[in-house]
C-alpha cells in the first residue's frame, strides 16, 4: 500500500544525510522522527520544499519531518531504507542539551503506549455513557468486565513503561518488564494489605507500597537497570551470559526495587500527587490557560512531548487529568477553527486549509499548523488567544478528563465521569469559546492582512489588466500542450504525490525544449516565487497547475524566466515562461512537467487525448462536465 511513497521516502532519507547519518527513526501520528548523527548534513530547505512534506522542525533532540495523516505509509518505505539495528554509534552528546535529552527520554518512553492508553480511555468513556443512560448497572458482571478491559492497561502500566523505557535506553525490554511484574505480583499485594513488616534475608527491609498504576517507581528502576545490565554484559563471558545476566538482573534489581528505588519513586509520586491536588484546588486555571494558549508553540519545539505525560501521571495518582487534557483539546479546536475560516474565505488556500482544519478537529494539528496557521501568522495568533480563553473557562470550572485519549472531538467522551455530566458540559462550552473567539479573530484579521496583499498586487499590476472572475460556470472543453515533448500518464510521474493524483488528474510531459505556453484562454492565478510552477483558471472554469520539474523549487528560480504575473489575461499558446532545461538537468533533477487539473472533482472526466510526442499547442487534455 505504501509503494506510491517510495520516491518521497527515498528523497527524505537522502536529504537527511543518507542512511549512514540516521541512528534512529520512528513516526508519530503526523511526523517522521529522526535522530541524526550530524544534523548539519541534513538539507532542511530541500526537505521543506519537497512536495509531500508539510514542514520540518527541530525538537526533543530530533529532526522531525511533518508529513500528515499518511505518515505511517511513508515510514513503511523509510524503514526499508534505514537500518538502525546494526548501528552502535550514538549521536554526539554535544548535539543535544540537557533539556532536549529529558524531552527525548520522556517522549520515547510514553509515546509508544499512547494507543493502549487511548483505547482503554475510550472503553472507560463507553462505560460512563452506558451507566449514565441506565443501560447497565455498576454492580452487573458486564460493568465489571468492561472495567477489567479498561483498567488492565492502567493497572499494569509499570510493565508497559518498563518495556518502552528499556527500548529507549537500549537494555533488555523483557528483563525490564519482568522486574516490573515482580512489583505487581499478587503475593506482594498481599504483604502490603497485611501491613506486616517484610525483611529480605531478615536484614533488608522492604517498604510496603502498592505499585499498581504507578509511573515514577518503574522509571527510576529501569533507568538504573540499564546501567547495571550493560555492566553485566560487558564483564560476564558470552558463553554463560544468557544464564547469569538475567539471574543477576532479577536478584539485584528486585532487591533495589523493593528496598530503595521503588520507595523513592513512591514518595516522589506522593509529592506529585500533593502538587497536582494543590494545583487543582488553588490554581486550576493556570495549566489550562498556558497549554490552551501555548500548545502550538510547544508542538513547534517538541516541548509537548515532555509535558503531555503529566496527564497520565496525574491520572495514575488522582484518577483524573486537569493538567494536559483540557488545555490541549481547546487549543486544537482553536487551531481547527482558525484554519477553517481561512479555508472558507480564501479560495487560494482552501486546498491546504480545509483538510488541515478537518484533521485538526480530530486532534491532529500539524497539517493546519505548518500548512496554514504558522505561514500566515495571524490565524496562529487568533488560535492562541482563543485557546487561552477556552482554557481559562475550563480551568476556572475545574474541568477534568477521566481517561487518556486524543485531543479531538471524539475525546469529549473522556470527560464523562465522577458521577456527573458537568465536566462534559464544561469542556464543550470551553471548546465553543475557543473555537468562537479564534474564528472571529481570524475573520477580522483576514480582512486586514489579505486586503493588504490584494492592494499590493493591484498596485504592482497594470491598471488595464482585468481581475480574474470570482466564479466561472464549468464548460466542457480542451487544454492544449503547454510545452513540446513526450506525453506520459500521470501515474508514471516520478513524484509519488503527483503520481497518486492527490492534487488532481492530468498528465506528464517530458519537455523537448524550454518554451512554456498557456494551455487555454484564461487568467494567471499563480506564478511561484521560485518560478517552478504556474497556475491558471481557464474561461471554462478549469483550475490548472503546471509544475515544471521535480524538486526544482530547490533551484531558487535560476532556470526560470517568467513572462506573466498573477492576474494577467492570457490566450492559448501565449508565452508564459522560458525554462533552461540544461540547468535543471545539470542539477540532477527531473524535467518532467506535470499538467494538473486541480479541481478534477468538478468534472465528470479528465482524459488525456494525446500520446507520444506533441508540439506546444497540440490538443492534450479533454475536460467533460
Which positions are catalytic? 28
132-153: buried (b, 16+ CB within 10 Å) or exposed (e) per residue?
A: eeeebeeeeeeeeebeeebeeb
Helix 157-169 / helix 216-235 crossing angle, nearest 10 deg: 40
The answer to whether 213 and 155 have CB atoms below 8 angstroms apart is: yes
DSSP string covering 294-328: HHHHHHHHTTHHHHTTHHHHHHHHHS-B-SSHHHH
The answer to whether 249 and 179 have CB atoms below 8 angstroms apart is: yes
Helix 6-15 / helix 71-81 crossing angle, nearest 10 deg: 60
CA distances to 36, 335, 402 from 322, rounded to whole Å, are 35, 20, 9
Strand 515-517: give its sheet, edge to edge: 515-517, 575-579, 560-562
Strand partners, 606: 623
Picking from 520, 486, 525, 467, the residue whose alpha carbon sits closest to that of residue 613 is 486
The answer to whether 66 and 370 have CB atoms below 8 angstroms apart is: yes
Q: How far is it, in rounded angstroms, from Cα 172 to Cα 157? A: 18
Task: Count CB-CB contacts under 10 A for residue 417.
Answer: 22
Q: How far is it, in rounded angstroms, from Cα 481 to Cα 609? A: 11
Provide the 3-class DSSP secondary structure of residue 55.
strand
What is the sign, positive or negative, of the torsion defined by CA atoms of 60, 64, 70, 73?
A: negative
Q: Which three cell numbers stand for residue 519?
A: 494551455
Strand partners, 26: 33
The answer to whether 105 and 220 have CB atoms below 8 angstroms apart is: no
Q: How far is it, in rounded angstroms, from Cα 310 to Cα 572? A: 61
DSSP H or E segment with residue 74 = helix 71-81
Provide the 3-class DSSP secondary structure of residue 131.
helix
DSSP H or E segment with residue 526 = strand 522-527
Q: Which three cell numbers stand for residue 407?
A: 485531543
Amino acid at each position: 500500500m505504501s509503494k506510491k511513497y517510495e520516491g518521497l521516502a527515498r528523497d527524505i532519507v537522502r536529504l537527511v544525510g543518507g542512511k549512514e547519518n540516521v541512528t534512529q527513526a520512528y513516526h508519530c501520528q503526523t511526523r517522521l522522527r529522526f535522530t541524526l548523527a550530524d544534523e548539519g548534513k541534513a538539507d532542511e530547505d530541500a526537505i521543506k520544499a519537497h512536495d509531500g512534506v508539510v514542514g520540518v522542525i527541530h525538537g526533543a533532540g530530533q529532526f522531525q519531518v511533518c508529513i500528515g495523516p499518511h505518515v505511517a505509509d511513508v515510514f513503511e518505505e523509510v524503514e526499508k531504507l534505514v537500518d538502525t539495528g546494526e548501528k552502535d554509534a550514538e549521536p554526539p552528546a554535544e548535539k543535544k542539551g540537557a533539556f532536549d535529552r529529558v524531552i527525548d527520554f520522556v517522549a520515547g518512553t510514553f509515546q509508544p503506549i499512547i494507543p493502549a492508553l487511548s483505547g482503554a480511555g475510550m472503553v472507560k468513556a463507553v462505560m460512563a455513557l452506558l451507566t449514565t443512560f441506565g443501560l447497565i448497572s455498576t454492580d452487573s458482571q458486564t460493568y465489571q468486565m468492561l472495567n477489567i478491559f479498561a483498567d488492565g492497561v492502567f493497572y499494569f502500566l509499570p510493565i508497559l513503561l518498563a518495556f518502552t523505557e528499556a527500548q529507549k535506553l537500549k537494555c533488555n525490554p523483557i528483563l525490564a518488564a519482568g522486574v516490573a511484574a515482580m512489583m505487581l505480583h499478587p503475593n506482594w499485594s498481599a504483604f502490603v494489605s497485611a501491613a506486616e513488616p517484610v525483611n529480605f534475608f531478615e536484614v533488608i527491609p522492604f517498604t510496603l507500597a502498592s505499585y499498581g498504576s504507578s509511573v515514577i517507581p518503574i522509571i527510576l528502576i529501569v533507568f538504573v537497570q540499564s546501567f547495571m545490565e550493560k555492566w553485566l554484559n560487558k564483564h560476564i563471558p558470552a558463553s554463560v551470559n544468557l544464564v547469569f545476566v538475567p539471574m543477576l538482573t532479577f536478584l539485584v534489581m528486585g532487591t533495589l526495587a523493593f528496598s530503595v528505588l521503588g520507595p523513592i519513586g513512591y514518595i516522589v509520586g506522593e509529592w506529585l500527587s500533593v502538587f497536582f491536588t494543590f494545583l487543582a484546588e488553588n490554581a486550576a486555571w493556570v495549566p489550562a490557560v498556558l497549554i490552551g494558549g501555548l500548545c502550538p508553540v510547544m508542538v513547534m519545539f517538541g516541548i509537548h512531548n515532555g509535558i503531555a505525560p503529566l496527564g497520565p501521571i496525574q491520572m495514575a495518582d488522582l484518577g483524573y487529568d486537569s493538567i494536559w487534557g483540557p488545555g490541549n483539546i481547546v487549543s486544537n479546536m482553536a487551531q481547527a477553527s482558525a484554519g477553517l475560516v481561512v479555508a472558507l474565505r480564501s479560495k487560494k488556500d482552501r486546498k491546504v486549509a480545509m483538510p488541515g482544519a478537518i484533521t485538526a478537529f480530530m486532534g491532529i494539528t500539524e497539517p493546519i499548523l505548518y500548512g496554514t496557521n504558522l505561514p500566515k501568522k495571524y490565524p496562529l495568533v487568533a488560535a492562541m488567544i482563543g485557546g487561552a480563553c477556552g482554557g481559562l473557562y475550563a480551568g476556572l470550572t475545574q474541568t477534568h478528563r477521566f481517561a487518556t485519549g486524543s485531543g479531538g472531538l471524539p475525546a469529549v467522551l473522556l470527560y464523562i465521569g465522577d458521577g456527573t455530566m458537568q465536566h462534559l458540559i464544561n469542556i464543550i462550552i470551553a471548546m465553543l469559546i475557543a473555537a468562537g473567539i479564534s474564528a472571529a479573530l481570524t475573520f477580522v484579521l483576514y480582512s486586514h492582512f489579505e486586503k493588504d496583499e490584494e492592494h499590493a498586487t493591484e498596485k504592482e499590476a497594470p491598471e488595464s489588466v482585468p481581475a480574474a472572475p470570482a466564479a466561472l460556470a464549468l464548460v466542457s472543453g480542451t487544454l492544449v500542450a503547454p510545452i513540446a515533448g513526450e506525453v506520459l500518464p500521470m501515474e508514471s510521474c516520478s513524484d509519488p504525490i503527483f503520481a497518486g493524483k492527490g492534487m488532481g488528474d492530468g498528465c506528464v510531459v517530458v519537455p523537448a525544449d524550454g518554451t512554456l505556453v498557456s494551455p487555454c484562454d484564461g487568467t494567471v492565478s499563480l506564478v511561484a516565487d521560485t518560478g517552478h510552477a504556474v497556475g491558471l483558471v481557464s474561461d471554462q472554469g478549469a483550475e490548472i497547475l503546471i509544475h515544471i520539474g521535480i524538486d526544482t523549487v530547490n533551484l531558487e528560480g535560476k532556470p526560470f524566466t517568467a513572462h506573466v504575473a498573477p492576474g494577467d489575461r492570457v490566450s492559448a499558446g501565449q508565452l508564459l515562461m522560458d525554462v533552461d532545461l540544461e540547468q535543471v538537468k545539470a542539477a540532477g533533477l527531473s524535467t518532467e512537467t506535470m499538467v494538473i487539473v486541480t479541481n478534477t472533482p468538478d468534472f465528470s472526466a479528465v482524459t488525456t487525448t494525446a500520446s507520444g510526442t506533441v508540439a506546444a499547442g497540440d490538443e492534450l487534455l479533454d475536460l467533460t462536465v
